[in-house]
């Protein structure tokens, strides 16, 4: 019956750390009404690292997570690009991109993929989407690797008409037409040199 106290404390400890992972052993000891040594012992048996290690792994995880978000921001990986002509990108649909209920990819990922690619194709410093026309043809599930192809159909002064088709396994799952407006201010591209 003695160990039940310990078990309860272990659970409390885990919960406390979940709520606030930045607690020191001393704080935890006070919160649980036991000595610091007991907390240390508990941590060892539970395999919980010390505060600094916890903090550190969190920070490291965050770094990679931030990078992942950055990548997501690109919405697809550029494979080929001919400015003002065409562009090709891929995007792998991961489990967190699908609707829980259906297991089908949220529609805006395809939109984002197509839109991003369309914007990339336009050779302008600043470009904005004016109009979009999209059609979802086949639902996409997690694990699918999408390939988007954007083609500039015609250009009129500052307006680009772009057609984008997204395929999965050579089957067209999505298509879109965009009108992109360039707001180019003749900004010069500066090549950055490292000192």
Partner DNA sequence: CAGATATTATGAGCTGGTACTAAAAAGCAG
Partner DNA sequence: CTGCTTTTTAGTACCAGCTCATAATATCTG
Contact with DNA (CB under 7 A): which of 12, 38, 129, 165? 38
**Residue whose entry in the numeric block shows the structure tokens 């009404």:** 33
How is residue 21 written in tokens? 């992972």
SS3 assignment, position 47: coil
In whole angstroms, give the CA distance from residue 119 to residue 126: 9
- Minimal distance in Å, beta carbon 34 to a second copy? 18
Q: Which is nearer to a second copy, 111 or 160 (CB)?
A: 111
Contact with DNA (CB under 7 A): which of 13, 51, 148, 176? 51
SS3 assignment, position 102: coil
Q: Which is nearer to a second copy, 16 or 35 (CB)?
A: 16
Give the residues lining the site for a second copy (CB under 8 A): 11, 21-22, 52, 54-56, 58-63, 65-66, 69, 75, 101-102, 104, 106-108, 111-112, 115-116, 119, 125-126, 128-136, 138-139, 141, 144, 183, 191, 194-195
CB atoms within 10 A of CB 41: 13
In whole angstroms, give the CA distance from residue 48 to residue 15: 12
Q: Do residues 69 and 106 make contact, with C-beta atoms less than 8 angstroms apart? A: no
Residue 133: name its binding partner from a second copy, DNA, none (Cβ under 5 to 8 Å by kind): a second copy
Q: Pick the stretch among 4-12, 94-102, 127-135, 168-176 that binds DNA (CB under 7 A).
A: 4-12
Q: Do residues 147 and 110 make contact, with C-beta atoms less than 8 angstroms apart? A: no
Select from 48, 146, 49, 59 the least CA-distant residue to 97: 146
Where does this chain bind DNA (CB under 7 A)? 1-3, 5-6, 9, 24-26, 34-35, 37-38, 40-41, 43-44, 49-52
């Amino acid at each position: 019956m003695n160990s039940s106290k310990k078990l309860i404390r272990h659970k409390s400890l885990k919960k406390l750390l979940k709520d606030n992972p930045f607690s020191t052993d001393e704080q935890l000891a006070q919160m649980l009404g036991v000595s610091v040594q007991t907390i240390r012992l508990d941590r060892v048996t539970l395999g919980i690292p010390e505060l600094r290690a916890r903090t550190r792994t969190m920070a490291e995880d965050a770094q990679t997570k931030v990078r992942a978000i950055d990548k997501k921001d690109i919405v697809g990986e550029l494979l080929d690009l001919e400015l003002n002509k065409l562009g090709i990108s891929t995007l792998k649909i991961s489990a967190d991109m699908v609707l829980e209920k259906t297991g089908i990819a949220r529609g805006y990922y395809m939109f984002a993929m197509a839109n991003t690619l369309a914007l990339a194709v336009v050779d302008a410093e600043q470009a904005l989407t004016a109009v979009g026309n999209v059609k979802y043809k086949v639902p996409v599930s997690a694990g699918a690797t999408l390939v988007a192809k954007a083609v500039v159909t015609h250009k009129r002064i500052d307006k680009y008409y772009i057609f984008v088709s997204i395929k999965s396994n050579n089957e067209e799952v999505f298509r879109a037409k965009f009108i992109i407006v360039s707001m180019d201010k003749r900004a010069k591209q500066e090549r950055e040199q490292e000192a």
